[in-house]
Every structure is written in structure tokens, then in C-alpha cells.
């Protein structure tokens, strides 16, 4: 059974080094988190799985890693300066601040008062200044989504790769939103990471591609280990659509605090490319066609047969890395009752996501030959390039197994006296079944390689 409460997960994350409150020793920074030794591995594995599926396993997607600091004009013409805001209300009684659309029965969630101010639009973008002078001219923004930096690179990528429609640009990176209230751990944060694909298609084929991407993305999350029972598709009502979207479907996940958005898949139409192009060129965006114009700043693609310029429509699967980590941990966390009446906590992560792939344990820490053998196995397995292999000589194998169950290590390998004195075999212990088997050390690399290929 998945984690039932956020407290369980938060405690595990701190205890085992997955996620810490940022700036903790100075009282923290609200809505900002640091990923610890195991958290960074899990996060990197999730991002690598996304990149593999989006870029390496497809033939129609290019990668990009664009800057976070963004020219003000980009976010002016994208519509963010005017519309990227949430409705803010103040409670006159206890002075707390809330998002009006998150209130129930128009009551302050903190003190229950209904004496609230009228909602006013609060822009979520973090503003900064470039250079030493803080004036209107020097304003820049920390990007609120990776998407805009992809759109303004459309022509750079197109010209350097000679892509034809349909094709996509994938990007993973940080984004920043000055959220009014941050709650539920890493679910809603002010410094977040996104995995966004902008998939450019012929106008007219957009609805079909939208449906296809919804299906592909749902299937991908299931392959990362999320149960179909905890996932749901939810279509946005017309009045709830973002300013750029013609249709959006969210992939919802049953987090400990409720069913909430994990990823949004939007049909952004030609809104963004059109808007950035309209800034540079005077043309009728509704026509989706720019008649025989040549310009370096035109975010459009030329149809080779007709020579007409087309502003592609964009289908955008946009997922949050932090929400992905939270969903995977929620799903994987379980407490098992064992036959002897004791309990164990297990993080049943899919092997490709596990922060530590294999722990190599030495039964005794004071037997140099045993320790050296365990270190040698660690080096050999590390060279397979599967991810982090950990050597440990804490000397308590039972406790070691429990600790690795709790952080999701799929396999533990133990080197003992039989290994060094008798037959050079090691014990392999499986996280989920807890079964143990002996295997010649010489066969370990093949065993581990096969396990992670199929596991």
C-alpha cells in the first residue's frame, strides 16, 4: 500500500537524506527544498528516464538546455507579464494570505474568519535586475516555465537541425514561481524543476497529436511504477484554461494530500510562436500562414512544396520533476508486517529509479581480505555504468538490509567468510522477496546487468 500521510514521507526523506528544507540552519526558506545524497540520485534517474523516452528513443525530438534568466520582452509577449497571476486574498482577522481559488466556503483556512479582502491579481514571476543599476531598463525575470526559452530558440534549433514537422524540442530545467502559499512538501514549491516537451505539428493535426501525447504520457508514468488506480485524466473546463491553451488535460495522481496535477498536456495552438513572431512581424496570425516572407526572426517553418510559411501548433506535455519524485515515493512507500511480528519499511522503486543500484556489504569490517574483496566487487559493478553502487562495511548485515529496503536499493551483495576462504561466492539478497541466493563472484556482473535490463 502506498504512503498514507505526507508526514511519513517527510520523515523518511529527512532521515535517509532524500530531501531537506533549504537554508534549514537559518530557519528555512518557505517553498524551497534541497535534494540530499539519495534525493539527487532519484531525481537524476527520473530525469534520465524522461530524457531517454523523449529524446533517445524517438527520432523526432531534439534537446535543449536554455538559460533561466530571461529577457523581459520574452515574458511580455508570451502574456506572462499580464496574465501569469493568482488571485490573492488577505484575512483581516489573522493577517494570513491565501489563494482565493483554494478557499473552501470563502473562509480563512487558518482561523475560519470570513472577513477577507477582495481577491487581487498577484503576478507569480520573480523579477530581478541585470547589472548594477536597478531601473526599468534592467528588469529581467527568472523563467516561470522552461517553455518560453524553447519557443524563442525555435528558429535556432530548426536552422541547425533541418527538422520538418512534426518534431519536438525537449528541455529539463529549473523554473521559479512566487507561489502565494506553499504547502504539501515538494508538491507546490517556489523553485521547481520541469520536464517539458514542445511538440510542433501542422495546424489541423493538433487535436490528434494532443490525444496521442495524453496516452503516451499516461503510459510512461505507469512504466515508472505509478499504479493506474492512482492516476486519472482530467480535462480542464473551457473557463479554467490558461491564456495560451485551446485544450488541456491533466494527469492527476493520488498524492497523500489528495488527487492533484502531476503533469499537464496542453494544446498551445500557435499562441506562443505566433505571439513572438507578431512582435517582430506584422502578419495575420489567425491565417496561420505568412505569405512568402523572409525573416530571421520569424518563428515559422516553410512548407517545401507550397513554399508557404506555417506557424506550427504546439502540443506540450509539461511535467514537474519535484511532483514526479513525490508521486514515485508515495507509490513506492510501504510498511510490511513480517512473519516474526516485526515490521519493515520498503521503498519499492522501479530498479532504474532506485538511488542506489547495488549495496556491496562486507560481513565484517575488521577482516581486511573481506573488505578488499567487497571493494573490488563495488569497483567492478560501478564500471557497468548503471548508477551508484555503494560499498559498506558497517558490520551489521541485518540492519544494512533494512536500511537499504527503506531507501529502495533493489539488490544487496554480501561478502562473507565463505567468499574469501572457500569458494569465491557471494550472497545476493533481493529487496522485494527478501530471498537470498549464492552466486560465484565472477558471474555477478552478468547477473546485475541482466537484472537492470529487465528489472
- For residue 222, the number of C-alpha atoms closer than 13 Å in the C-beta half-sphere is 12
Of the pair 196, 416, the CB lying nearest ligand GAP is at: 196
**Judged by CB under 6 A, does residue 173 bind ligand GAP?**
no
Site for ligand GAP in 248-307 (CB under 6 A): 261-264
Among 147, 152, 265, 448, contact with ligand GAP (rule: CB under 6 A): 147
Are 242 and 265 spatial neighbours (Cβ–Cβ below 8 Å)? no
For every residue of 52-96, DSSP letters joined together read IIIIIT-SSEEEE---SEEEHHHHHHTTHHHH-EEEEEEBTTT--
Q: Which is nearer to ligand GAP, 51 or 447 (CB)?
A: 51
Nearer to ligand GAP, 268 or 357 (CB): 268
If the CB atoms of residues 264 and 312 are measured against ligand GAP, the closer one turns out to be 264
Q: How many CB atoms lie under 10 A from the CB of residue 173?
A: 21
Closer to ligand GAP by Cβ: residue 323 or 357: 323
State the minimum distance, in angstroms, from the CB of residue 231 to ligand GAP.
13
Asked whether 265 and 248 are in contact (CB, 8 A), the reply is yes
User: Is residue 192 involved in binding ligand GAP (CB under 6 A)?
Assistant: yes
**Binding-site size, ligand GAP (CB under 6 A):** 19
E strands in 274-424: 289-290, 301-302, 309-310, 313-320, 333-337, 343-347, 356-362, 388-392, 411-415
Q: Does position 247 bind ligand GAP by CB under 6 A?
A: no
Inter-CA distances, 379 with 40, 80, 382, Å: 21, 50, 5
326: contact with ligand GAP by CB under 6 A? no
Kind of pairing between the strands at 301-302 and 289-290: unpaired
Classify residue 25 as exposed, middle or buried by CB count within 10 Å of its CB (0-12, 13-18, 19+).
exposed
Local structure of residue 288 (DSSP, 8 states) = T
Q: Pick between residue 45 and residue 248 the one whose CB is nearest to ligand GAP.
A: 248
First to last CA, the chain: 20
Q: Is residue 43 a contact residue for ligand GAP (CB under 6 A)?
A: no
- Residue 168 interacting with ligand GAP (CB under 6 A): no
Among 81, 86, 196, 270, binds ligand GAP (CB under 6 A): 196
Using CB under 6 A, pick the residue from 89, 169, 201, 319 that binds ligand GAP: 319
Binding site for ligand GAP (CB under 6 A): 145, 147, 177, 179, 188-189, 192, 194, 196, 261-264, 316, 318-320, 322-323
Amino acid at each position: 500500500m502506498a504512503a498514507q500521510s505526507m508526514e511519513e514521507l517527510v520523515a523518511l526523506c529527512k532521515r535517509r537524506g532524500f530531501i531537506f528544507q533549504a537554508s534549514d540552519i537559518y530557519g528555512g526558506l518557505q517553498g524551497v527544498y534541497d535534494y540530499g545524497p539519495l534525493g539527487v540520485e532519484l531525481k537524476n534517474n527520473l530525469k534520465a528516464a524522461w530524457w531517454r523516452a523523449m529524446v533517445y528513443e524517438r527520432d523526432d525530438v531534439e534537446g535543449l538546455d536554455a538559460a533561466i534568466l530571461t529577457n523581459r520582452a520574452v515574458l511580455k509577449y508570451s502574456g506572462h507579464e499580464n496574465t501569469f497571476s493568482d488571485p490573492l486574498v488577505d484575512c483581516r482577522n489573522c493577517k494570513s494570505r491565501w489563494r482565493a481559488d483554494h478557499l473552501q466556503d470563502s473562509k480563512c483556512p487558518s482561523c475560519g474568519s470570513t472577513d477577507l479582502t477582495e481577491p487581487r491579481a498577484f503576478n507569480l514571476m520573480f523579477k530581478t535586475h541585470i547589472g548594477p543599476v536597478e531601473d526599468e531598463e534592467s528588469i529581467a525575470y527568472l523563467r516561470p516555465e522552461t517553455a518560453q526559452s524553447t519557443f524563442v530558440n525555435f528558429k535556432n534549433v530548426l536552422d541547425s537541425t533541418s527538422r520538418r514537422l512534426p518534431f519536438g524540442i525537449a528541455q529539463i530545467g529549473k523554473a521559479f514561481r512566487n507561489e502565494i502559499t506553499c504547502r504539501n512538501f515538494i508538491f507546490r514549491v517556489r523553485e521547481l524543476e520541469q520536464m517539458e516537451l514542445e511538440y510542433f505539428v501542422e495546424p489541423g493535426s493538433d487535436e490528434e497529436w494532443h490525444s496521442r501525447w495524453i496516452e503516451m504520457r499516461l503510459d510512461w508514468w505507469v512504466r515508472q511504477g505509478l499504479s493506474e488506480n492512482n492516476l486519472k485524466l482530467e480535462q480542464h473546463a473551457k473557463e479554467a484554461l490558461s491564456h495560451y491553451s485551446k485544450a488541456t488535460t491533466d494527469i492527476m495522481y493520488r498524492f497523500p494530500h489528495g488527487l492533484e496535477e502531476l503533469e499537464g498536456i496542453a494544446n498551445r495552438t500557435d499562441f506562443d510562436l505566433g505571439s513572438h513572431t507578431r512582435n517582430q512581424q506584422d502578419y495575420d496570425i489567425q491565417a496561420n500562414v505568412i505569405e512568402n516572407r523572409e525573416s530571421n526572426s520569424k518563428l515559422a517553418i516553410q512548407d517545401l512544396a507550397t513554399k508557404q510559411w506555417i506557424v506550427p501548433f504546439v502540443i506540450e506535455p509539461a511535467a514537474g520533476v519535484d511532483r514526479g519524485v513525490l508521486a514515485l515515493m508515495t507509490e513506492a512507500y510501504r510498511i510490511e508486517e513480517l512473519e516474526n511480528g516485526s515490521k519493515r519499511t520498503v521503498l519499492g522503486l522501479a530498479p532504474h529509479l532506485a538511488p542506489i543500484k547495488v549495496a556491496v556489504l562486507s560481513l565484517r569490517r575488521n577482516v581486511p581480505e573481506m573488505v578488499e574483496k567487497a571493494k573490488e566487487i563495488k569497483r567492478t559493478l560501478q564500471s557497468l555504468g548503471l548508477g551508484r553502487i555503494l560499498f559498506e562495511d558497517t558490520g551489521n548485515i541485518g540492519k544494512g538490509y533494512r536500511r537499504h529496503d527503506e531507501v529502495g536499493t533493489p539488490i544487496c551483495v554480501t561478502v562473507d567468510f565463505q567468499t574469501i576462504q572457500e569458494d569465491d561466492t557471494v550472497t545476493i539478497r533481493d529487496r522485494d522477496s527478501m530471498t537470498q541466493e549464492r552466486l560465484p563472484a565472477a558471474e555477478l556482473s552478468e547477473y546485475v546487468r541482466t537484472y537492470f535490463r529487465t528489472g
